[in-house]
């Protein structure tokens, strides 16, 4: 019976793979959904599904079912990845003698170009916070840091004061899998962070008797959450009327796109973004190609 190994698998992912709480929730949800599908298909309680029913045929049938439910290929690929991780764990623990789903192919992904903002839109957005208020100084530092470093919003909220080195203009961030990297701070980001730390952060820190190591604090003196960052961004998007939905990840996309458009090499951008694989970074080259086409169409006399 394989169902009983789910909790041990999640413990393994948490302890040995440093999986985040959100990742663990996704794994659990994906596995429970698969076993529920199997239980309905074979009329057997999911706790009693035998190992021999967990094979390439049943997984392919599960993917077909997901497709019929209207799930995207990206979601199907993620659920298949959860099953593969679970199977690798079962093989490692000798629960399964071999990988029964090795022949299952990942659904071909739709190529979606990341959305980004143009430099003039970035300038308008970042200039929106009122620098005469403590909240405005904090919010300007948040926006400048997101765009100036290209870090993920999860990495931003995880930054502690001790991670900042304003003298060297760098910040230490902890990315996916708890991997640490150093992100350089540009002149504008450094300037806004210095103002926030020296002139505004203590105003937030005084709101609670507890001491927080976090760089960015909310109105209660606690560490800002990812949702709070999204709300802050949405506030200024509405103020400047950008007429499109903007999420924090778009600032990361804009960071990478603008670097490549201005001559940065792909390997350097990969390092700055903290991507493990170069192929993950290569999607931004599609955007730069579009930029090249636009320049050609605007400039060539016989376009």
Q: Residue 100: inside a domain, yes or no?
A: no
Cβ atoms of 296 and 303 closer than 8 Å? yes
Is 73 a known active-site residue?
no
Cβ atoms of 266 and 260 closer than 8 Å? yes
CA distance 246 to 232: 11
Residue 106 has what pLDDT? Answer: 81
Instruction: Name the 3-class secondary structure at 172.
Output: strand
Is 284 a known active-site residue?
yes
Given 41, 56, 115, 249, which residue is catalytic? 249
Q: The domain containing residue 64 runs over which residues?
A: 3-92
| Domain co-membership, 87 together with 132 | no
Given 152, 174, 253, 258, which residue is catalytic? 152
Q: Residue 109: inside a domain, yes or no?
A: no
Q: Which residues of 265-292 are buried (b: 16+ CB within 10 A; e: fewer)?
A: ebeebbebbbbeeeeebeebeebbeeee
| Domain co-membership, 199 together with 80 | no
The number of domains in the chain is 2
Is 201 a known active-site residue?
no
| Domain co-membership, 82 together with 128 | no
CA distance 238 to 233: 9
| Domain co-membership, 176 together with 35 | no
Q: Residue 35: inside a domain, yes or no?
A: yes
Calculate the CA 159 to chain-centre distance.
15
Q: What is the pLDDT along the chain (303 residues), one digit of tens a residue?
A: 789 999 999 999 999 888 888 889 999 999 999 999 999 998 889 999 888 888 889 999 999 999 999 998 889 999 999 999 999 999 999 998 889 998 888 877 666 667 888 899 999 999 999 999 999 999 999 999 999 999 999 999 999 999 999 999 999 999 887 788 999 999 999 999 999 999 999 999 998 888 889 999 999 999 999 999 999 999 999 999 887 889 999 999 999 989 988 888 888 888 898 887 887 777 777 666 666 666 567 666 665
Given 17, 222, 230, 275, which residue is catalytic? 275
Q: Residue 303: inside a domain, yes or no?
A: no
Residue 228 has what pLDDT? Answer: 95
pTM higher than 0.85: no
CB neighbour class for 53 (10 Å; exposed up to 12, middle 13-18, buried from 19)? middle
- Non-local (6+) Cβ contacts of 293 within 8 A are none
- Whichever domain contains 277, its CATH number is 1.10.443.10
Is 300 a known active-site residue?
no
Residue 179 has what pLDDT? Answer: 84
Residue 228 Rama label (left phi>0; alpha psi -120 to 50; beta): alpha
Helix residue ranges, H only, 150-247: 153-157, 187-199, 201-205, 226-240
Q: Residue 105: inside a domain, yes or no?
A: no
| Domain co-membership, 54 together with 165 | no
| Domain co-membership, 254 together with 123 | yes
Given 28, 78, 172, 176, which residue is catalytic? 176
| Domain co-membership, 77 together with 149 | no
Is 275 a known active-site residue?
yes
pLDDT digits (tens, 9 = 90+) for 35-48: 999 999 988 899 99
E runs forming strands in the chain: 164-165, 170-174, 180-184
Given 79, 252, 253, 258, which residue is catalytic? 252
């Amino acid at each position: 019976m394989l169902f009983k190994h789910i909790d041990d698998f999640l413990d393994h992912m948490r302890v040995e793979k440093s999986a985040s709480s959100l990742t663990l929730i996704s794994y659990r949800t994906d596995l429970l959904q698969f076993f529920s599908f199997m239980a309905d298909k074979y009329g057997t309680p999911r706790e009693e599904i035998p190992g021999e029913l967990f094979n390439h045929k049943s997984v392919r049938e599960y993917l077909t079912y997901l497709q019929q439910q209207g799930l995207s290929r990206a979601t199907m690929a993620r659920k298949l990845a959860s099953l593969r991780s679970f199977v690798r764990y079962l093989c490692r623990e000798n629960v399964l003698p071999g990988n029964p789903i090795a022949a299952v192919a990942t659904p071909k992904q739709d190529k979606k170009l990341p959305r980004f903002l143009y430099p003039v839109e970035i300038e308008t957005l970042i200039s929106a916070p009122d620098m005469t208020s403590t909240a405005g100084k904090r919010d300007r530092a948040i926006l400048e840091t997101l765009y100036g470093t290209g870090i993920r919003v999860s990495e931003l909220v995880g930054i502690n004061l001790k991670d900042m080195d304003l003298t060297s203009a760098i910040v230490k961030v902890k990315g996916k899998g708890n991997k640490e990297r150093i992100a350089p701070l540009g002149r504008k980001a450094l300037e806004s962070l210095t103002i926030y730390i020296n002139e505004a952060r203590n105003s937030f820190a005084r709101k609670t008797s507890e001491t927080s190591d976090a760089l960015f604090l909310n109105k209660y003196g606690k560490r800002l959450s990812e949702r709070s960052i999204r709300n802050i961004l949405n506030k200024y998007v509405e103020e400047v009327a950008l007429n499109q939905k903007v999420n924090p990840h778009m600032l990361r996309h804009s960071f990478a796109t603008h670097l490549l458009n201005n001559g940065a090499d792909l390997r350097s951008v990969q390092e700055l973004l903290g991507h493990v694989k170069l192929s993950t970074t290569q999607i931004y080259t599609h955007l730069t190609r579009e930029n090249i086409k636009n320049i050609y169409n605007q400039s060539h006399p016989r376009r």
